[in-house]
Amino acid sequence: MTDTLDDLDVEGTTVGVRVDINSPIDDDGSLADDARLRAHVDTLSELLERGGRVAVLAHQGRPGGDDFVSLEPHAERLSTLLERPVDYVDVTYSSGAREAVRNLDDGDCIVLENTRFYSEEYMEFDPDAAARTHLVEGLAPVLDAYVNDAFAAAHRSQPSLVGFPSVLPGYAGRVMESELDVLGSIEETPEPRVYVLGGAKVSDSIDVAWSVLEKGLADHVLTAGVAGNVFLTADGVDLGDASTDFIYEQGYWDEIDRAADLLDAYGERVALPRDVAVERDGERHELGVNALPPADSEAAMDIGSSTLSYYERILEGAGTVILNGPAGVFEEAAFENGTRELYNAASDVDTSIVGGGDTASALRSLGVEGFSHVSTGGGAALRMLTAEPLPAVTALEDGPKHQQPADD
């Protein structure tokens, strides 16, 4: 178990708070969506109201990406959400950053610059090595405590996630605490347990499917999205050139063999789509798998209605459903039906848990509600849902193993 904010004597304490506010960015560099910032408001407000001195640490994007930008807009938005001034500091661990942290008063909040502007932060380290990085050696001397609220990044073993808790007392923030509560007890959720794996990250879906089937966590795995198309292909269905080329282009050809092996080993627990939707004459048109391949170059863009009825029957008997990834190209009106109806059916299951960035945005845009838990994490949630440890959580649990670096 990790300590939480309930265990931290906050007043007058200078706290480094790692959040995950990695967000979609518009062409002009502004925030396109602030859902992840909103998620951390409770943790930050609580720390500030209890008299903490808060230095926020976070990453945005990956080097080379269009969304690899400064955290200045994030600081501005946090200031609005927290209803108090939040200063942006354009450095992360240099003497200027230390100075800004030393100048904090009780109830003050600053946002330090994107941790990934420093190359160390997109490399993976074990906690001992992470404790010796420039980021941790530079900033830890002016912090009294470290709070990790960045559940969505907890599957990364990067210095801001595993280095600070190696040298400072570490605590889980409120987002981290609630994610760990729900996702950490997956083995105790009611059975039968159904995993719905859709979306486009086929390798991740197949990893999860193997893991939950091998461990006996899943009674059924329902496949949809690109993952469903890969499983159909592995089962010998010819989806036609468009879908097959797409699988090639995405580099998922090897996944067809892995999916076939999984069907050999656990086929009776893996459900495949019975029909798919394609675009014909500008409209949605459904084809049973026996009618495949489709004419011309029609791609399978969604699951069809007989798949939905089949999956809905399985979900009716479920005690727990865990979903990741949309069932089709929900961004196009003609192909949103599978995602909307499948997720609607899943929301009626007693315990319904959803993970994934695009999944959460699909649910918002389709107006589907009523889940027991919508996780802030994609990759991190998936890893927990297979009952695998997360490096950042392990580092918090292990506690400090090294001396706090000295202030200059």
Ligand X SMILES: O=C(O)[C@H](O)COP(=O)(O)O
Q: Using the rule CB under 6 A, which residue among 198, 228, 304, 379 binds ligand X?
A: 379
**Among ligand X, ligand ATP, none, what binds residue 229 when CB lies within 5 to 8 Å by partner kind?**
ligand ATP
What are the residues facing 373 on neighbouring strands? 353
Q: What angle, 0 to 180 degrees and rounded to 10, lies between the N-to-C axes of helices 41-49 and 174-183?
A: 130
Name the residue type at position 162: V
Minimum gap (Å) between residue 62 Cβ and ligand ATP: 13
Say how far apart CA 1 and CA 39 lie, in whole Å: 22
Name the residue type at position 319: G
Q: Is 294 in the site for ligand ATP (CB under 6 A)?
A: no
**Interface residues for ligand X in 205-224 (CB under 6 A)?**
none
**Among ligand ATP, ligand X, none, what binds residue 358 when CB lies within 5 to 8 Å by partner kind?**
ligand ATP
- H helix or E strand, kind and range, residue 223: strand 220-223
**Among ligand X, ligand ATP, none, what binds residue 318 when CB lies within 5 to 8 Å by partner kind?**
none
Minimum gap (Å) between residue 252 Cβ and ligand X: 19
Q: Is 199 in the site for ligand ATP (CB under 6 A)?
A: yes
Q: Where are the alpha helices (DSSP H) in 184-303?
A: 202-214, 225-234, 241-249, 253-266
Q: Which residue is nearest to ligand X (CB)?
A: 22
Minimum gap (Å) between residue 377 Cβ and ligand X: 7
- DSSP class of residue 11 equals T
Say how far apart CA 390 and CA 397 lie, in whole Å: 11
Minimum gap (Å) between residue 302 Cβ and ligand ATP: 6
Q: Which one, 246 or 266, has the nearer CB to ligand ATP?
A: 246
**Does residue 259 come out as left (phi exceeding 0), alpha (psi in the -120 to 50 range) or beta?**
alpha
Say how far apart CA 360 and CA 368 lie, in whole Å: 10
Q: Using the rule CB under 6 A, which residue among 73, 173, 328, 400 binds ligand ATP?
A: 328
Say how far apart CA 149 and CA 235 lie, in whole Å: 42
Stretch that binds ligand X, among 27-35, 139-147, 150-158, 269-277 (CB under 6 A): 150-158
Which positions from 313 to 352 touch ligand X by CB under 6 A, shown as an x/- string?
A: ----------------------------------------
With CB under 6 A, what is the number of residues at the site for ligand ATP? 20
Stretch that binds ligand ATP, among 43-51, 189-197, 283-291, 357-365 (CB under 6 A): 357-365
Q: Is 149 in the site for ligand X (CB under 6 A)?
A: no
Task: Give Cα separations from 335 to 88, 278, 279, 299, 391 (angstroms).
Answer: 42, 8, 9, 11, 37
Stretch that binds ligand X, among 76-84, 149-157, 326-334, 395-403 (CB under 6 A): 149-157
Contact by Cβ (8 Å): 192, 167: no
Nearest to 294 by CA among 202, 232, 221: 232
Say how far apart CA 233 and CA 86 lie, in whole Å: 52
DSSP helix/strand/coil, 366? helix
Say how far apart CA 222 and CA 193 lie, in whole Å: 11
Say how far apart CA 301 and CA 279 lie, in whole Å: 8
In sequence order, the 6+-apart residues with CB closer than 8 A to the CB of 333 are none
Ramachandran angles phi, psi of 57, nearest 5°:
-120, 135
**Among ligand ATP, ligand X, none, what binds residue 20 when CB lies within 5 to 8 Å by partner kind?**
ligand X
Q: Is 153 in the site for ligand X (CB under 6 A)?
A: yes
Contact by Cβ (8 Å): 198, 160: no
Q: Is 359 in the site for ligand ATP (CB under 6 A)?
A: yes
**Among ligand X, ligand ATP, none, what binds residue 165 when CB lies within 5 to 8 Å by partner kind?**
none
- Residue 225 class from Cβ within 10 Å (0-12 exposed, 13-18 middle, 19+ buried)? buried
Stretch that binds ligand X, among 39-47, 151-159, 170-178, 211-219 (CB under 6 A): 151-159
**Among ligand X, ligand ATP, none, what binds residue 211 when CB lies within 5 to 8 Å by partner kind?**
none
Q: Is 223 in the site for ligand ATP (CB under 6 A)?
A: no
**Among ligand ATP, ligand X, none, what binds residue 153 when CB lies within 5 to 8 Å by partner kind?**
ligand X
**Interface residues for ligand X in 9-48 (CB under 6 A)?**
20, 22
Q: Which residues of the chain form contacts with ligand X (CB under 6 A)? A: 20, 22, 62, 152-153, 156, 357, 378-379
Q: Which residues of the chain form contacts with ligand ATP (CB under 6 A)? A: 199-201, 225-226, 229, 300-301, 324-326, 328-329, 331, 356-359, 378-379
